[in-house]
Amino acid sequence: MNEKKHSNGIKRREFMQTGALFAATAIFLPLSGYQILAAQDSSKTISTMPTATLNNGLSMPMIGLGTHSLKGDICVRSVAEAISVGYRLIDTATVYGNEEFVGEGIKLSGIPRDELFVTSKLWVSDSGYETTKQAFETSLTKLGLEYLDLYLIHRPRGDVKGTWKAMEDLYKEGRIKAIGLSNFEPDQLDELLTYSTVKPTVNQIESHVYFQQHKAHDYLKQKQVQMEAWSPFAAGRNGMFTNPILARIGKKYNKSNAQVCLRWHYQRDVVTIPRSSQKAHMVENLDIFDFELNEADMQTIATLDLNRTQFPEWS
């Protein structure tokens, strides 16, 4: 995610040991006018990235790059750099207004398309059978891709039934490898299941240590729908990056608050898409697979749950 202050004065951590170590072992690769910082042994990161198996058998990386609010050259560079350091899941959406820039970053990376997992989302104004199909084609054109790995209904509004039917048809035609939802409550997903012929594979919802979503987490596991967390750091709100409880846990493992949060998500089998435009942050966010939170750590983090959104302006 971007390094910026929120209104409560909390900002992104300013220094990461892993980022410094990475910088010492990296090289600059000039690509089409951009300077992409690439790890010399990025293949090691790629080969060890854990995946979730969706209910249709598709493998989905457990950590990806979120791109909300990234635009223009910053978005292009961020996507290309994320891929260069090992990310393979890239998340965007029509309403972000950056699909074209995401596509440029993918092209700039030089990575074969079949090694990537690209997600986009249909916005409310495009709901309905025909408009969904049109919006899907527009997204593909902007991204410069021939198919999507995952296509989500961004919000449960408008003609959800017509939208889902269009997505099912696109899935059956092989234009999308998996279809799913975003911001759906359990009762809304239950309603969709009464008429769907293809089961949703993913529900992308707000989740972080301050809004742990235990009910949704248990429900989605029961339904075999993969939970994916947007804004897994709550955009730094409520002092997440300086929270003393997270810092105390992280100190035991020589990890940052952000790494503790991502590891907590991972141990709950939740896919995460942290946003960042900083290479060091990207690398740090991937460096969570060499330690494990113990049961006491998990119970301590559970006490941080406020059980409410940190983004009331989006509700």
User: What's the CATH number of domain 17-314, 3.30.420.130, 3.40.50.10320, 3.20.20.100, 3.40.50.300?
Assistant: 3.20.20.100
DSSP conformation class of 63: B
pLDDT of residue 15: 33
CA distance readout (Å), 5 to 13, 77, 93, 272: 11, 22, 24, 22
> In the Cβ-directed half-sphere of 41, how many Cα atoms lie within 13 Å?
7
pLDDT of residue 29: 34
What are the structure tokens assigned to 229, written together?
A: 């967390």
CA distance readout (Å), 283 to 19, 26, 53, 181, 300: 6, 11, 24, 28, 26
CA-to-CA distance for 39 and 25, rounded, in angstroms? Answer: 7
pLDDT of residue 206: 97
Domain range annotation of the chain: 17-314
pLDDT of residue 4: 32
Catalytic-role residue among 34, 87, 96, 219: 96
CA-to-CA distance for 233 and 206, rounded, in angstroms? Answer: 10
pLDDT of residue 11: 42
Based on the residue annotation, tell me whether 129 is a catalytic residue of this protein: no
The pTM of the full predicted model, rounded to 2 decimals, is 0.87
CA-to-CA distance for 202 and 152, rounded, in angstroms? Answer: 8
pLDDT of residue 27: 29
Instruction: Pick the closest to residue 227 from 208, 254, 246 (CA basis).
Output: 208
Q: Note the helical H segments in the chain.
A: 17-24, 42-47, 72-84, 99-109, 129-143, 160-172, 186-193, 214-223, 244-253, 257-267, 279-286, 295-302
One digit per residue, pLDDT tens: the chain, 315 residues? 333 333 333 344 443 333 333 333 332 333 334 444 333 334 334 447 899 999 999 999 999 999 999 999 999 999 999 999 999 999 999 999 999 999 999 999 999 999 999 999 999 999 999 999 999 999 999 999 999 999 999 999 999 999 999 999 999 999 999 999 999 999 999 999 999 999 999 999 999 999 999 999 999 999 999 999 999 999 999 999 999 999 999 999 999 999 999 999 999 999 999 999 999 999 999 999 999 999 999 999 999 999 999 998 876
